[in-house]
Each structure stands twice: as structure tokens, then as C-alpha cells.
């Protein structure tokens, strides 16, 4: 047996995908406390005899969320915190609503592929692959677009009426990295951003004021 084959067999168990659940479901039993995403693995499952159909029904996306005055976008993300019945099922979902001209700024999900189904309206939708190529087109009611895991993607309502999209993810915790906020609102040193983007101090300050959260804590 060659050395390379031995190494492959040694590392194979380390790169296998997540194991499938060993039970039908696991609705977390937190007592009277709310579910915390970082503690999901520590919660016991509800006794199946105490689980009801209501544990598997969620009504929190019947209406749009709160619209941003800047972007005209409203998003509601749903994971096991909001809908405990999703726990261990390897999925989550979101509702996105767009006012005319509304935009979901460039962002990506580090731990999930997303499918986006247009429920109403016309949305210019796309992603950028690792070669820098943009894959984008207008999608309409009934059409679905897929955004591969870790790819930067975006959506813009190009119609004259409201638009709504239902997004689903193949992870119960897909993560969300918003590019403008991450770059200009996370506390990266000014010298780095000025050099990287060719910005003056005044231009950078305007961007920081727009995207920097008020409660930002910077670790130097």
C-alpha cells in the first residue's frame, strides 16, 4: 500500500459530512427559557409523547418584516431559535420583501447553499463565483435561483410593485455576512481600507458613518 493511499485512508474520517440524525426529530426542551442557537447541542429533546403538531408549524412569515428606509428591504430569518421544530433537520428559511427599487445588498452565507423562490414581483438576482464572473438575470413569480454556498449574491426589485422571495437553506445555521457592513462597519483600521479601496479620509469616514454599528467593539 502506497504512502499517499495510507494518508488518504487516515484523513478520510476527518472530512466526512455531518452525520444524519439518529432520530426522527429533536424539538429542544429548554423549559421556560428561550432557545439559544449556540446552545442547541446541549439541550435535551422533548419527550416524543409531549410533542404536538404545533411544534412543526410556524406562522411568523405571514407578513413582511420591518423595511429599511435606506434599502427598501425587509427580511425575516427563521432558524431553530424562532422555530425549534427545525432543530437537527439541517435546514432553515427566510422571507424577503422588496419595495419597488428595494435591494438586498451583496452578502453570503458561509455554511449553506440557498434557493430563492419568487412568490411575487420581478427581481434582478445573481451571484459572483470564485473567478469573479457574475451570474445574474431577472427572475419572476414561480422561478427559483440557487446561490452556491459561500458565493456573494444580491437581489434588486426591478418591478413597479412589491416583490417577495422565499429562501431556503441546507443548514439550520447558515450564517450571514453582509459585505458593506463587514468591510466598513467592523472596525478594520482606516489605513487598510484607504489603501485597499483608494479612498480619502473623508470618503472613508462617510462610509463608516453609514455602516458602523453604534455598539461596535474593536479588538486591536
Binding residues for Mn(2+): 107, 109, 114, 153
Binding-site residues for oxalate, in ranges, read 104, 109, 114
CA 156 – CA 219 distance, rounded (Å): 34
Q: All 3 cell numbers of residue 38?
A: 449556540
Residue pair 178/110 in contact by the 8 Å Cβ criterion? no
Give me the residues paired with residue 93 across strands.
78, 168
Sign of CA dihedral 185, 187, 190, 196: negative
Residue pair 60/83 in contact by the 8 Å Cβ criterion? yes
Strands of the sheet containing 114-120, edge to edge, are: 73-78, 92-98, 163-169, 114-120, 144-147
Q: Give, in order, the Cα–Cα distances in Å from 140 to each of 120, 146, 159, 162, 217.
A: 7, 14, 10, 12, 41
Binding-site residues, in ranges, read 104, 107, 109, 114, 153
Amino acid at each position: 500500500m502506497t504512502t499517499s493511499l495510507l494518508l488518504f485512508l487516515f484523513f478520510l474520517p476527518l472530512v466526512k459530512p455531518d452525520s444524519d440524525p439518529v432520530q426522527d426529530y429533536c424539538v429542544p426542551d429548554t423549559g421556560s427559557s428561550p432557545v439559544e442557537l449556540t446552545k442547541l447541542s446541549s439541550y435535551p429533546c422533548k419527550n416524543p409523547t409531549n410533542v404536538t403538531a404545533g411544534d412543526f408549524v410556524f406562522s411568523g412569515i405571514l407578513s413582511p418584516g420591518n423595511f429599511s428606509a435606506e434599502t427598501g428591504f425587509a427580511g425575516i430569518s427563521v432558524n431553530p431559535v424562532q422555530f425549534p421544530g427545525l432543530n437537527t433537520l439541517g435546514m432553515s428559511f427566510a422571507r424577503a420583501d422588496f419595495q419597488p427599487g428595494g435591494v438586498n445588498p451583496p452578502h453570503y452565507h458561509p455554511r449553506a447553499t440557498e434557493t430563492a423562490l419568487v412568490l411575487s414581483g420581478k427581481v434582478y438576482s445573481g451571484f459572483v463565483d470564485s473567478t469573479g464572473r457574475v451570474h445574474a438575470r431577472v427572475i419572476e413569480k414561480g422561478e427559483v435561483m440557487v446561490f452556491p454556498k459561500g458565493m456573494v449574491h444580491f437581489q434588486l426589485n426591478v418591478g413597479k410593485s412589491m416583490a417577495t422571495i422565499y429562501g431556503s437553506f441546507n443548514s439550520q445555521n447558515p450564517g450571514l455576512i453582509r459585505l458593506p457592513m463587514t468591510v466598513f462597519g467592523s472596525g478594520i483600521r482606516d489605513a487598510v481600507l484607504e489603501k485597499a479601496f483608494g479612498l480619502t479620509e473623508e470618503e472613508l469616514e462617510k462610509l463608516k458613518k453609514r455602516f458602523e454599528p453604534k455598539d461596535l467593539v474593536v479588538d486591536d
